[in-house]
Amino acid sequence: MATVPTPHNLAALLLFIDTHIIDAPDKASVCLRRLRDEGWINLQRTDAMDTELADAPGEKWAQLTEASASYPEALGPMVWGQSRWNSSVWGTEEDHTRLHDVFAILFPNADRATTRDNHIRDAMHVSTAIRYGGFGFVTRERRLLNKAARIAERFHGFRMWPPEDALTEAAARIRGMRELHRREPHRDTLPTWPTEGDLPTPPE
């Protein structure tokens, strides 16, 4: 019997994830990763993730790199001293402006020439996610989430969410897909998981 392929991004939700989300043990992060495995949503990483993972100790590096390899990688514009050779693209003026604007919003008092590597990489994550049409960026970094409204205002509603908010959006889309299939039962079948009890309760 032929194996039925896993559907891909049924809910039409493309989210990029911060490095710490790939092995985060909290319920929302675990659920998001399973929704991706079941084919409901699409989670991707940017090229900045493996740059960050290079700083992990040997055994941890191997574990996290193996985990990150299962996610499609979006290659961002090359940033000297941060990007990996052969894992980035030549940027355009638009790319330069986007990265500059993201960095200025996230770290308004920092100088890119002297700031911490993590600040530059955070801006790379977000600007690359925007470049490739992501709906949002999932992170628990409070310094990023604090600037979510400014990023959304500048970049046409692009979201920066903790896993719980991303899961709420995914759940709403899954409910919508199930309702559509209830009304049009001739459509292809949907994955059985998650059940209604596994999804966040819709806000009133």
14-198 — its CATH code?
A: 3.40.50.1010
Give the amino acid at 4: V
95-126 residues labelled b (16+ CB within 10 A) or e (exposed)? beebbebbbebbbeeeeeeeeeeebbbbbbbb
Strands (E), the chain: 14-17, 42-46, 73-74, 136-138, 159-161
Going from N- to C-terminal start, the domains of the chain cover 14-198
What number of CA atoms fall less than 13 Å from residue 22's CA on the CB side?
Answer: 22
Q: How many CB atoms lie within 10 A of CB 198?
A: 13
pLDDT in tens, 30-42: 999 999 999 999 9
Residue 5: band (very low, low, confident or very high) from pLDDT cuts 50, 70, 90? low
8 A C-beta contact, residue 29 and residue 59: no
- Percent of the chain as helix, strand, coil, to the nearest 5: 50, 10, 45
Whole-prediction pTM: 0.91
Task: List, in sequence order, every residue forming a beta bridge with 44; answer none if it has no partner.
Answer: 16
Residues in the chain: 204
**DSSP assignment string, 138-194:** E---HHHHTTHHHHHHHTTT-EEE-HHHHHHHHHHHHHHHHHHHHH-TTSPPPP-PS
Instruction: Spell out a b/e string for 153-177, using b for 16 or more CB atoms within 10 Å of the CB, else e.
Output: eebeebbbbbbbbbbbbbbbbbeeb
Give per-residue pLDDT as tens, 46-55: 999 988 887 7
Q: Which of 20, 71, 5 is nearest to 43 (CA)?
A: 71
Q: What is the pLDDT of residues 131-184, one digit of tens each?
A: 999 999 999 999 999 999 999 999 999 999 999 999 999 999 999 999 999 999
> Roughly what angle, to the nearest 10 degrees, separates helices 163-183 and 27-38?
40
The reported pLDDT for the residue numbered 1 is 40
Lowest pLDDT segment from 77-81, 91-95, 153-157:
77-81
Asked if residue 3 has pLDDT above 50, the reply is no
Nearest to 181 by CA among 171, 166, 191: 191
